[in-house]
Amino acid sequence: MIVRPNSEQDIADSIKLARNNELILLPGNGGCASWVPITAKTMYLDMKNFNNVIVDQSSSTVRVGGGASTGEVIKAVVAAGYYTLWCNSNAVGYVGSILGGGISPFTGLHGYLIDAVESIQLITTDGQILDVGPSSEGEEKALFNALCGAGHGLGIITSVVMKVFSLKILNMTEDCFWTRRVVFPSSAIEAAAKAFTQFSDPDPHLVINMVFFRALPSTSALGSPMITLTASYFGPSNEAEQAATVLFDQSIIGKAVEAETLLVSVATANDRNNHMNIHGGFKDTWSCFVSSVDGAAIKESFERWVQVAERDQGAKRTLVLWGRFNTNMAVSLGQSPEGQGKFLGVRDRGVFTNVVKYADTLESNRALDQFCYDHLDIARRRDAGLPRIAVE
């Protein structure tokens, strides 16, 4: 059953209907939560009509409806001269990206998405309408903290209020962030991995991403495994090259097939990833945070990724991401009175890895499952203690 509510009363009625008919109530927006099964016993609550995004300049906040996508949030806040924290996919439901903690290009500057939450408006499973936030007390404060990091399944969120920041404080050129992008062939994986690991203590304004991908059909190297290493600097352009000097080292650049330096509008920050937003087939994400990674682990991960697609053509669209960012602000916010109660145990881990799994058949999907297990084992090899799985 699919229900598209227009009001809070519609949501309350849907909760009652689901309970009376023993249905599992599932609020949805971006359709990117691949770990949630939908069956004949599911009531799918399509929140698309709750997609308002309202910037309040007087309070430096934005109210985001429970049905708004990340792309809609970016468009609205940037048009008003601000930015907030967001994940790296325009298609992902904004509220959903908060509930697991929420990594962002601005994590080095402002922490995780949950650190920018001012309040959350929701309807509980017994029909109560609540507005919870850092100043709430008792059970409502506990609920707010749980929503910030462990929030899935605790109610129907109708809106969130987030902090916004003036784009002017970043001192960027025409509201564009500086990006250095270098593309390597598979034969240069050691050079690419070495470059990535040299960003051991990145500037808070800097975000490093490495992606394993296969060349698109429009290129001459159809289907060839490639590596893209990108450094994005959300600050003054004249400081960016110094922060990303590794990607100008000729001993590394000499092994690349492409290198470019760009200014990218903040309004289009996620557009390069739009090709990843497709639905259909078997799609999943497997992620974790770790404290550090060495070049040998990255190389082994790359070789396993190449092998699984060579054995099974249906696995070729699968991508692997490695990310690096500064953790100081996230750790500091986690130690604050407001941050201590929130459910996020990865603040001190500045390396993030994510497998975006695409498979055409059930057989390919099973083969990729084993690769994903192997990849996370490889990524965690240098970390002590219990694994910490990231859910976005």
- Amino acid identity for residue 172 in this structure: M
Please give the DSSP secondary-structure letter assigned to residue 95: H
Q: How far apart are CA 54 and CA 25, in angstroms?
A: 27
pLDDT on residue 329: 98
Q: How confident is the model at residue 32 (pLDDT cuts 50, 70, 90)?
A: low
Q: What is the pLDDT of residues 73-123, one digit of tens each?
A: 999 999 999 999 999 999 899 999 999 899 999 999 999 999 999 999 999
Please give the DSSP secondary-structure letter assigned to residue 93: B
Please say whether the beta carbons of 180 and 261 come within 8 A: yes
Q: Where in the chain is the domain with CATH 3.30.465.10?
A: 2-168
Please say whether the beta carbons of 159 and 66 come within 8 A: yes
Average pLDDT over the chain, rounded to an integer: 92
Q: What is the pLDDT of residues 214-267, one digit of tens each?
A: 987 665 555 899 999 999 999 999 999 999 999 999 999 999 999 999 999 999
Token readout for 63 is: 């109210």
Q: How confident is the model at residue 273 (pLDDT cuts 50, 70, 90)?
A: confident
Q: How confident is the model at residue 29 (pLDDT cuts 50, 70, 90)?
A: confident
Q: How confident is the model at residue 391 (pLDDT cuts 50, 70, 90)?
A: very low
Tokens 């903290």 sit on residue: 145
Q: pTM of this prediction?
A: 0.91
Burial class of residue 162 in the structure, from the number of CB atoms within 10 Å of its CB (0-12 exposed, 13-18 middle, 19+ buried): buried
Q: Where in the chain is the domain with CATH 3.40.462.20?
A: 176-379
Tokens 């249905």 sit on residue: 23
Beta bridge partners of 369: none
* CATH 3.30.465.10 assigned to 2-168: yes
Q: How far apart are CA 370 and CA 284, in angstroms?
A: 13
Please say whether the beta carbons of 316 and 223 come within 8 A: yes
- Amino acid identity for residue 184 in this structure: F
Tokens 């498979």 sit on residue: 359
Kindly tell me if the per-residue pLDDT of 151 is higher than 90: no
CATH of domain 176-379: 3.40.462.20
Sign of the CA dihedral with 189 first, then 190, 191, and 193 last: positive
Region 21-40 average pLDDT: 77
Beta bridge partners of 163: 61
Please say whether the beta carbons of 129 and 157 come within 8 A: no
Token readout for 147 is: 């929503």
